[in-house]
């Protein structure tokens, strides 16, 4: 009978319970002391493999079974009257009528499935899978990937799907580029996170829909045939760490990628590309700016007005090898743009179609869809031959020229037709983020095979949480407007809280008019604190946004670049901690502090755990009003502040950013280490460094230093221990605010 399903316990093990009602199975897996997996599916159904979940960090081409338990530290909960008690203190109640779950913290409901029915057991809610859960007043929602608008997503609804949204409005456009059905909910009882493990187009409604017949709710809907989701408990940070670990470990990027990496569409679209690039190198020398990478836009592949992946336009680049060599001689890595679709008039198209390497129609012909300025077909990366073809092309057309990085772009796989099929027999529309992941994996494998001793660098615009294992990302084709600066700030922090922690933005804005002097400088003030530091543009007048676009502000630009250079030791050490501990490089202050003043959107952000940076996002504004979290001492430009107060900070567009350093920190900048002490007591700061390019750090060939600091009324004593094999003799100073004696042991 619909809306009335009685479930009974069918199977059990110490860490699993399986319930059944007719042909519907409902399964609980206690995957850790503070996380549980829930699956609702039809008995006997073959569930689509997952690429999102990878706790053992095994990279493969076929994913893993969605109910696999490999890599989890399973938990045996205590049985209670009507449910289970987890070691983290969460109690789970199981109502076997309609399989309704209730989650309590300290005896109070944290959240629950919506009664009387939360799941689409017999199509009571239509087609697809649904999950309805409770919604409480005042709750705050964070996450969902690269979603725009406010940091708090409550009261809004989102489509979880990928699209090529060039020139999007960062305050409202949805969807954008990422497919991450994960969110954190915080209410007056506590916090929890939910991740829906699916690659299908999905929807998350956080309160936009209301229905008179039910208590307030939020819901998830997907085109998938089965519902599998994970629930995490703890603080917001602990939830992010658990979700990130579930998805697999990030790759530590090479150190050079944290320096300025330039880009523009204008140079490669120009007929005189070679001249433009020579001029770029001349400008780098003339200005004294440092640059370690150049994202090579797709114009290098052009034939006429269109772009043809893996084709070098030898009119623009007579000697691709010589071009790469010229930049390498200046210490600049070329990061070439590659796209997974082949236009129907691509020189390779006929051969690839004959070999069956494209996503197909039911009759076996290539599926053709709109791609840029014409029809094209996407390579089917579930086909091993197509996967290997891509690897070969990346190696022969790019890596063999001396290139050691790739920019995987336009990889949203915009296939919505339910008739399009992949080589593995599944509908392409249900595998779009999987195809993205496999594309990036193919590029990754090509780079690893060509340069086995180098950590590869890849960037991808689209993807699911799976791509965190392989590549950096960015917020895509934003606008050169102040509004986009403000809301891209939120998009970046939202990505960071959604497991994509190595991210950045196209500084200055990608599309629109050349940014004004003020806007460009405000973008750079923000960008020097992001993991990815890149100016990239496609301006309406075909101009290129560059650091020297306005000669009169070049001294300010150079000062900001110098500040980035000074911060590189801290940023790189923070990146290592990000990889090891899944702690975001950039985060809103409320991730670490519970002050009520921090719960709203903020114009500041934490960089690592020890730096708090204020920003200005409005034109004509000359000061930043920053809130300093309670319970800390904050240092800034020779001054010391107590937490729990607002501080007005002068911040002209032409200035470097007067960031705050948390007391209890030894901050590496440039060639020195500055101690920012507490009033009294002890603390430990850590620092990591290595050769910046290899895996040798895993064998201890690195600096892994620990600064143990003891603060008394008269002295600050620092004891340095290096657990790595690299020699380490730091120059240590005490911040000039503190007049105590510095003792180094």
What is the pLDDT at residue 90? 98
pLDDT digits over 627-663, tens only? 999 999 999 998 999 999 999 999 999 999 999 999 9
Strand ranges in 480-622 using DSSP code E only, listed in sequence order? 504-507, 511-512, 532-535, 538-539, 586-587, 604-607, 611-614
Average pLDDT for residues 406-412, to the nearest whole number? 98
Q: Going by C-beta distance under 8 Å and a sequence separation of 6 or more, which residues neighbour residue 128?
A: 120, 221, 222, 223, 224
What 8-state DSSP symbol labels residue 298?
A: G
pLDDT band at 289 (very low <50, low <70, confident <90, very high): very high
Please state, in angstroms and as integers, the Cα–Cα distance from residue 667 to each residue in 91, 519, 611, 706, following that order: 42, 29, 9, 12
Check the CA dihedral 32-36-41-43 and report its sign: positive
Average pLDDT for residues 586-602, to the nearest whole number? 92
Omega before 137 within 30 of 0, i.e. cis: no
Average pLDDT for residues 668-694, to the nearest whole number? 97
Residue 98 has pLDDT above 80, yes or no: yes
CA 722 centroid distance within chain:
31
- Determine how β-strand 261-264 pairs with β-strand 293-296: parallel
Helices (H) and strands (E) in the chain, counts: 10, 47
Cβ(103)–Cβ(92) under 8 Å? yes
Residue 231 has pLDDT above 80, yes or no: yes
Residue 601 has pLDDT above 90, yes or no: no
More confident residue, 126 or 671: 126
pLDDT digits over 508-541, tens only? 999 999 999 999 999 999 999 999 999 999 999 9
pLDDT digits over 135-154, tens only? 999 999 999 999 999 999 99
Check the CA dihedral 228-181-471-367 and report its sign: positive
Give the phi and the psi of residue 41 in degrees, each rounded to 5. -160, 170
What 8-state DSSP symbol labels residue 260?
A: -
**Angle of helix 517-527 relative to helix 482-496, nearest 10 degrees?**
10
CA 297 centroid distance within chain:
22
| Residues listed for the chain | 745
pLDDT digits over 250-278, tens only? 999 999 999 999 999 999 999 999 999 99
Q: Rounded distance, CA 566 to CA 284, Å?
A: 18
Q: Rounded distance, CA 453 to CA 694, Å?
A: 6
Q: Rounded distance, CA 271 to CA 427, Å?
A: 41
| Per-chain mean pLDDT for the chain | 97
Cβ(172)–Cβ(149) under 8 Å? yes
Cβ(714)–Cβ(726) under 8 Å? no
Residue 240 has pLDDT above 80, yes or no: yes
SS3 at position 458: strand
- Determine how β-strand 217-222 pairs with β-strand 8-13: unpaired
568, 563, 561: which is closest to 689 by C-alpha? 568
Check the CA dihedral 517-522-525-531 and report its sign: negative
Supply the DSSP string of 540-575, one letter for each residue: TTS----TTSSGGGHHHHHHHHHHHHHHHHHHHHHH
**Angle of helix 432-450 relative to helix 384-397, nearest 10 degrees?**
50
What 8-state DSSP symbol labels residue 675?
A: E
Average pLDDT for residues 42-53, to the nearest whole number? 96
Please state, in angstroms and as integers, the Cα–Cα distance from residue 679 to each residue in 142, 255, 666, 722, following that order: 35, 35, 15, 26
What is the pLDDT at residue 718? 98
Q: Rounded distance, CA 299 to CA 489, Å?
A: 29
What is the pLDDT at residue 600? 78
What is the pLDDT at residue 1? 77
pLDDT band at 599 (very low <50, low <70, confident <90, very high): confident
Q: Rounded distance, CA 206 to CA 710, Å?
A: 47
The alpha carbon torsion through 492, 498, 500, 505 (nearest 10 deg) reads -10
350, 451, 340, 334: which is closest to 403 by C-alpha? 334
């Amino acid at each position: 009978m619909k809306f009335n399903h009685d479930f009974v316990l069918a199977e059990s093990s110490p860490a699993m319970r399986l319930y059944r009602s007719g042909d519907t199975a409902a399964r609980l897996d206690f995957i850790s002391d503070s996380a549980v997996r829930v699956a609702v599916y039809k008995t006997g159904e073959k569930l689509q493999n997952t690429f999102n979940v990878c706790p053992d960090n095994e990279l493969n081409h076929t994913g893993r079974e969605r109910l696999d338990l490999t890599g989890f530290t399973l938990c045996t909960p205590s049985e209670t009257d009507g449910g289970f008690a987890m070691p983290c203190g969460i109690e789970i109640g199981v109502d076997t009528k309609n399989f309704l779950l209730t989650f309590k913290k300290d005896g109070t409901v944290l959240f629950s499935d919506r009664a009387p029915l939360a799941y689409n057991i017999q199509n009571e809610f239509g087609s697809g899978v649904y999950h309805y859960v409770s919604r409480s007043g005042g709750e705050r929602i964070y996450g969902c990937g690269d979603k725009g608008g406010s940091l708090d997503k409550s009261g809004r609804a989102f489509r979880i799907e990928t699209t090529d949204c060039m020139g999007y409005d960062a305050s409202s456009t949805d969807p954008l580029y990422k497919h991450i059905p994960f969110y954190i909910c915080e209410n007056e009882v506590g916090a929890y996170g939910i991740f829906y493990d699916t690659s299908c187009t999905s929807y998350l409604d956080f309160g936009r829909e209301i229905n008179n017949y039910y208590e307030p709710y939020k819901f998830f809907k997907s085109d998938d045939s089965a519902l599998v989701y994970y629930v995490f408990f703890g603080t917001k940070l602990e939830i992010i760490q658990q979700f990130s670990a579930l998805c697999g470990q990030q790759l530590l990027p090479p150190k050079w990628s944290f320096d300025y990496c330039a880009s523009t569409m204008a140079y490669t679209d120009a007929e005189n590309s070679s001249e433009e690039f020579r001029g770029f190198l001349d400008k780098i020398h003339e200005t004294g700016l440092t640059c370690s990478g150049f994202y090579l836009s797709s114009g290098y592949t052009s034939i006429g007005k269109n772009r043809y992946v893996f084709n070098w336009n030898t009119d623009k680049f007579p000697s691709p090898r010589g071009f790469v060599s010229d930049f390498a001689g200046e210490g600049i890595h070329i990061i070439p743009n590659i796209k997974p679709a082949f236009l129907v008039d691509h020189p390779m198209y006929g051969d690839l179609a004959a070999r069956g390497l494209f996503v197909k129609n039911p009759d076996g012909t290539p599926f053709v869809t709109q791609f840029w300025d014409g029809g094209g077909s996407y390579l089917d990366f579930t086909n091993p031959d197509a996967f290997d073809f891509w690897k070969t092309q990346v190696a022969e057309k790019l890596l063999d020229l001396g290139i050691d990085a790739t920019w995987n772009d336009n990889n949203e796989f915009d296939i919505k037709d339910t008739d399009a099929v992949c080589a593995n027999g599944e509908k392409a529309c249900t595998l779009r983020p999987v195809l993205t992941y496999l594309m990036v994996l193919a590029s990754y494998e090509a780079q690893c095979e060509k340069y086995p001793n180098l950590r590869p660098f890849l960037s991808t615009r689209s993807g699911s949480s799976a791509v965190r294992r392989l590549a950096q990302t960015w917020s895509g084709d934003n606008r050169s407007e102040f509004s986009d600066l403000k809301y891209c700030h939120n998009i970046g922090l939202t990505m960071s809280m959604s497991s994509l922690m190595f991210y950045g933005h196209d500084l200055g804005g990608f599309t629109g008019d050349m940014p004004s002097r003020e806007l460009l400088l405000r973008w750079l003030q923000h960008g020097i604190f992001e993991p990815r530091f890149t100016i990239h543009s496609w301006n309406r007048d075909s101009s290129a946004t560059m650091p020297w676009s306005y000669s009169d502000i070049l001294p300010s630009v150079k000062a900001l670049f110098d500040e980035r250079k000074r911060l590189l030791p801290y940023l790189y050490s923070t990146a290592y901690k990000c990889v090891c501990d899944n702690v975001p490089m950039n985060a809103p202050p409320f991730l670490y502090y519970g002050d009520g003043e921090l719960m709203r959107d903020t114009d500041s952000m934490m960089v690592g755990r020890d730096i708090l940076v204020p920003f200005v996002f409005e034109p004509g504004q000359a000061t930043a009003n920053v809130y300093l979290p309670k319970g800390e001492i904050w240092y800034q430009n020779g001054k010391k502040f107590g937490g729990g107060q607002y501080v007005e900070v002068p911040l002209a567009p032409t200035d470097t950013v007067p960031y705050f350093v948390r007391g209890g920190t030894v901050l590496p900048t440039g060639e020195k280490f500055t101690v920012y002490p507490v009033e009294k007591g002890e603390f430990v700061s850590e620092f990591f460094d290595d050769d910046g390019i290899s895996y040798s750090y895993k064998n201890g060939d690195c600096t892994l230093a620990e600064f143990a600091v003891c603060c008394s009324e008269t002295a600050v004593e620092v004891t340095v221990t290096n657990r790595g094999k690299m020699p380490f003799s730091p120059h240590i100073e005490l911040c000039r605010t503190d007049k105590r004696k510095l003792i180094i042991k």
